């Protein structure tokens, strides 16, 4: 028997910061101390706290070491495993209280979470089906196999589960449609084409708990009468693909996948289809086209896939997180599930919390928790004591929610009402140093390139909005642009064929709604209040503070600074490219260079007629 187990996070994040080296070093060190039979190493899925990775937890003690490097391993073994002394410097320190925390439960990041979908992530070895089964795995399937399909669907309906892929369509209703559609063949498709930049909820589930997804698909198959399943996963997720393949093989060996599953007469097979990484293939009809080997472009609905899907057959498409919820609902019951969350949004939701917060990573909270709860309680507030400005929820086509709405409960309907959306659960926190026009431009740059190019508003409208935003950030905005942006955004939102175009204008619409003053400052006064838009900035040297050290003169790549030694230097605005090198070069004690955006920059530019685009 092992006395201790060490969980090393083997999520993609921790692997890239050295988890595999830690494992091999640890194995060597254990042997050195003859501990290899007493201490077992488990490579787990993602713990969610990627910022602090690689993560190294010792059970049953529940000691949480973070940011561990291979060279720390000998000390951890020697000091902790052999001598029993905590290695203080590798423990987690709370960024607010500066207190050291031993157990991961005590960490604010985890403490406020309610991990249901992520229940096994970071806890079990995802490549070992036994560990999944020990923690209640496949009990949901077993229960579903004892029920009539209609009863399974009812259970999911009663639970109030809504699709986690973005639109929030009630899952039970979708299953009902697929169940009702006549067809000799039906399909279950797992949408694992997680495309939002910075989002990795689905990847973590696939990597950390692949069987939960398989079990969800099996239950969906049982409920709808499908016997074949496809997992459409991005080929940029090689680890997820590998673990899924392992899981499918193991489930096959255990009789969970294949023919006559658990002696119930139910047959179900699962295939993996690797996508080539087009964002639009996350849209369900485009995804189906891609599986069929066609160009991945969305088509008009109806017919909905539940009626005419893959190869024209009824097809039920659910997202990874949705499916991972399903085994829990079957196992623990609809009543339990619907006790979590709000009236319209049941259960929990996983978010990828990124941006200017102290704790970034994957967080799971019950629906209805406020934005403040996530950003401040779990995220630990804004870095470097800066001021919170907004949070972009729902990925590149989500919306920016301002400070005034910090107490908005996170659920499908509240977010939509505020102009954002649940999306797949991206949450990017921005602080006072972020220009909202520039932020909108950034997101539109993504969606304009990812538009499939098929329907007119999306293909041309997003690019048009991008071009206008680009002009505005360069001080070339025209007063009528704000109104034009508004018109375009509505035209694209209401006129587009699929979800991509229908949501892509959200960043524009919400920033116009909550930060219109920033647009006006850019357009009317040629100012960027956040000091981000380069063309609108002016660098000046305070003649009083300047000590004439010539460091800025040397640092300037544009030869824009003149002045003799010991004399105050001067920046020629016409030559200045606003790169900020002078500001960095100026000694910290002096700080004679200042950056302002007061409208004079654009003036000097228009005189010179020169523009500098980056």
Partner 1 sequence: MSDLITLTIDGRPVQAAPGTSILRAALDSGIYIPHLCDHPDLEPVGICRLCLVEIEGRRPTVSCKTPVEEGLVVRTSSADLDLIRKVNLELLIVNHDYNCQSCVKNSKCQLQKVTSYVGVDEKSLRRVRKPELDHPLDTSNPFFTRDMNKCVLCGICVRTCDEIQGDGCIDFAFRGTRTKISVLGDKPILESACVSCGECVARCPVGALVPVKFEEPAYEVETVCPYCGCGCGIIVGARGGRVVSSRAVPGNQVNRGSLCVKGRFGLGYVNHPGRLTALLIRKDGELVEAAWDEALALVAEKLNSYKGDQFAAIASAKCTSEDSYVIQKFARAVMGTNNIDHCARL
The C-alpha atoms of residue 233 and residue 469 are separated, in whole angstroms, by 33
Which of 497, 508, 552, 556 touches partner 1 (CB under 8 A)? Answer: 497
In which residue are the tokens 């009317």 written? 524
- 448 binding partner 1? (CB under 8 A): yes
Please state the closest distance from residue 11 (CB atom) to partner 1, in A: 30
Backbone phi and psi for residue 291, each to the nearest 5 degrees, phi listed first: -60, -35
- 559 binding partner 1? (CB under 8 A): no
Of residues 65 and 519, the one with the C-beta less far from partner 1: 519
Closest CA to 220 of 117, 316, 347: 316
If one counts every other C-beta atom within 10 angstroms of the C-beta of residue 1, the result is 5
Say if residue 520 is exposed, middle or buried (CB neighbours under 10 Å; 0-12, 13-18, 19+). middle
Which of 24, 260, 264, 467 touches partner 1 (CB under 8 A)? Answer: 467
- 478 binding partner 1? (CB under 8 A): yes
- Local structure of residue 414 (DSSP, 8 states): H
Write down how long the chain is: 614
Which of 264, 449, 591, 611 touches partner 1 (CB under 8 A)? Answer: 449
Strand extents, DSSP E, 255-387: 258-261, 266-275, 315-319, 348-355, 361-366
CB-based contact 45:11 (threshold 8 Å): yes
Please state the closest distance from residue 284 (CB atom) to partner 1, in A: 16
Binding letters toward partner 1, positions 230-249, x by CB under 8 A: --------------------
Q: List strands edge to edge, sheet with 315-319.
A: 258-261, 266-275, 228-234, 187-192, 315-319
Q: Which stretch binds partner 1 (CB under 8 A): 165-173, 354-362, 386-394, 485-493?
A: 485-493
Please state the closest distance from residue 536 (CB atom) to partner 1, in A: 19
Say if residue 609 is exposed, middle or buried (CB neighbours under 10 Å; 0-12, 13-18, 19+). exposed
Please state the closest distance from residue 286 (CB atom) to partner 1, in A: 11
Which of 43, 159, 278, 286 touches partner 1 (CB under 8 A)? Answer: 278
Helix (H, G, I), strand (E, B) or coil at 495: helix
- 506 binding partner 1? (CB under 8 A): no
Please state the closest distance from residue 489 (CB atom) to partner 1, in A: 9
Which of 207, 411, 450, 535 touches partner 1 (CB under 8 A)? Answer: 450
**Close Cβ partners of 437 (under 8 Å, ≥ 6 residues apart):** 469, 472, 473, 511, 515, 518, 519, 522, 528, 533
Of residues 283 and 450, the one with the C-beta less far from partner 1: 450
The C-alpha atoms of residue 513 and residue 529 are separated, in whole angstroms, by 17
Which of 13, 341, 361, 457 touches partner 1 (CB under 8 A)? Answer: 457
Of residues 299 and 545, the one with the C-beta less far from partner 1: 299
- 276 binding partner 1? (CB under 8 A): no
Please state the closest distance from residue 446 (CB atom) to partner 1, in A: 10
The C-alpha atoms of residue 536 and residue 540 are separated, in whole angstroms, by 13
- 295 binding partner 1? (CB under 8 A): yes
Which of 365, 462, 512, 533 touches partner 1 (CB under 8 A)? Answer: 462
- 111 binding partner 1? (CB under 8 A): no
The C-alpha atoms of residue 205 and residue 164 are separated, in whole angstroms, by 13
Of residues 480 and 559, the one with the C-beta less far from partner 1: 480
Please state the closest distance from residue 278 (CB atom) to partner 1, in A: 7
Of residues 111 and 295, the one with the C-beta less far from partner 1: 295
Q: Which stretch binds partner 1 (CB under 8 A): 201-209, 353-361, 460-468, 540-548?
A: 460-468
- 88 binding partner 1? (CB under 8 A): no
The C-alpha atoms of residue 220 and residue 189 are separated, in whole angstroms, by 10
The C-alpha atoms of residue 95 and residue 110 are separated, in whole angstroms, by 14
Please state the closest distance from residue 225 (CB atom) to partner 1, in A: 27
- 611 binding partner 1? (CB under 8 A): no
Element (H, E) at 44: strand 39-44
The C-alpha atoms of residue 447 and residue 459 are separated, in whole angstroms, by 10
What are the distances in angstroms from CA 375 to CA 80, 131, 360? 34, 33, 9
Which of 484, 524, 564, 595 touches partner 1 (CB under 8 A)? Answer: 484
Please state the closest distance from residue 457 (CB atom) to partner 1, in A: 6
**Close Cβ partners of 54 (under 8 Å, ≥ 6 residues apart):** 8, 9, 14, 17, 18, 19, 22, 66, 67, 68, 69
Please state the closest distance from residue 335 (CB atom) to partner 1, in A: 34
Which of 46, 256, 468, 523 touches partner 1 (CB under 8 A)? Answer: 468
Which residues on adjacent β-strands are paired with residue 258?
A: 268
Element (H, E) at 93: strand 92-93
Of residues 228 and 450, the one with the C-beta less far from partner 1: 450
Please state the closest distance from residue 85 (CB atom) to partner 1, in A: 57
Q: Which stretch binds partner 1 (CB under 8 A): 359-367, 494-502, 527-535, 599-607?
A: 494-502
Residues 38-57 that bind partner 1 (CB under 8 A): none
Q: Which stretch binds partner 1 (CB under 8 A): 387-395, 418-426, 459-467, 597-605?
A: 459-467
By CB under 8 A, name the binding residues for partner 1: 278, 280, 295, 297, 299-300, 448-457, 459-464, 467-468, 471, 478, 480-481, 484, 487-488, 490-492, 494-497
């Amino acid at each position: 028997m092992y006395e201790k187990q060490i969980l090393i996070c083997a999520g993609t994040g921790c692997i890239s910061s050295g988890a595999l080296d830690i494992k091999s070093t640890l194995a060597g060190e254990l042997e050195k101390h003859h501990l290899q039979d007493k201490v077992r190493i488990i490579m787990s899925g993602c713990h969610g706290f990627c910022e602090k990775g690689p993560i190294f937890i010792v059970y049953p003690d529940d000691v949480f070491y973070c940011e561990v490097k291979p060279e720390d391993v000998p000390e951890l073994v020697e000091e902790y495993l052999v001598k029993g002394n905590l290695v203080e410097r590798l423990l987690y320190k709370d960024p607010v209280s500066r207190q050291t925390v031993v157990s991961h439960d005590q960490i604010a990041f985890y403490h406020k979470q309610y991990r249901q979908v992520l229940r096994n992530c970071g806890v079990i070895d995802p490549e070992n089906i036994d560990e999944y089964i020990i923690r209640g795995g496949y009990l949901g399937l077993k229960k579903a196999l004892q029920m009539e399909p209609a009863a399974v669907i009812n259970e999911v309906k009663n639970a109030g589960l809504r699709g986690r892929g973005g639109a929030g369509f009630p899952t039970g209703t979708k299953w009902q449609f697929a169940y009702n559609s006549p067809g000799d063949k039906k399909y279950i498709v797992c949408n694992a084409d997680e495309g939002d930049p910075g989002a990795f909820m689905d990847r973590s589930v696939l990597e950390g708990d692949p069987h939960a997804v398989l079990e969800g698909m099996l239950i969906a198959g049982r409920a709808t009468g499908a016997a074949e399943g496809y997992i459409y996963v991005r080929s940029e997720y090689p680890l997820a693909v590998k673990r899924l393949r392992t899981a499918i093989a193991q489930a096959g060996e255990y009789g969970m996948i294949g023919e006559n599953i658990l002696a119930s007469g139910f047959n179900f097979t699962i295939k993996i289809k690797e996508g080539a990484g087009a964002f639009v293939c996350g849209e369900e009809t485009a995804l189906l086209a891609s599986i069929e080997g066609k160009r991945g472009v969305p088509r008009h609905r109806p017919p909905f896939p539940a009626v005419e899907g893959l190869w024209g057959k009824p097809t039920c498409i659910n997202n990874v997180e949705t499916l991972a919820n399903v085994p829990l609902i079957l196992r623990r019951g609809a009543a339990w599930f619907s006790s979590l969350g709000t009236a319209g949004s049941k259960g929990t939701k996983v978010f990828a919390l990124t941006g200017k917060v102290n704790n970034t990573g994957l967080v799971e909270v019950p629906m209805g928790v406020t934005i403040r709860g996530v950003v401040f309680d779990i995220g630990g507030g804004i870095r470097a004591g800066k001021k919170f400005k907004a949070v972009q929820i729902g990925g590149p086509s989500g919306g920016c929610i301002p400070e005034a709405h910090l107490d908005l409960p996170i659920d499908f309907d509240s977010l939509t009402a505020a102009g954002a959306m649940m999306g797949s659960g991206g949450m990017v926190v921005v602080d006072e140093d972020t220009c909202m026009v520039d932020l909108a431009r950034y997101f539109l740059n993504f969606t304009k390139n990812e538009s499939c190019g098929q329907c007119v508003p999306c293909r041309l409208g997003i690019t048009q909005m991008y071009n206008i935003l680009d002009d505005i950030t360069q001080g070339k905005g025209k007063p009528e642009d704000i109104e034009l942006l508004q018109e375009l955004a509505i035209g694209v939102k209401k006129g587009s064929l699929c979800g991509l175009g229908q949501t892509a204008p959200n960043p524009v619409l919400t920033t116009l709604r909550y930060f219109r003053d920033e647009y006006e400052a850019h357009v009317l006064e040629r100012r960027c209040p956040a000091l981000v838009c380069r063309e609108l900035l002016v660098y000046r040297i305070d003649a009083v503070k300047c000590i004439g050290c010539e460091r800025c003169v040397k640092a300037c790549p544009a030869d824009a600074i003149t002045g003799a030694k010991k004399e105050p230097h001067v920046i020629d605005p016409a030559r200045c490219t606003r790169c900020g090198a002078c500001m960095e070069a100026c000694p910290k004690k002096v700080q004679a260079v200042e950056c302002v955006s007061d409208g004079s920059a654009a003036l000097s530019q228009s005189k010179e007629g020169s523009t500098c685009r980056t």
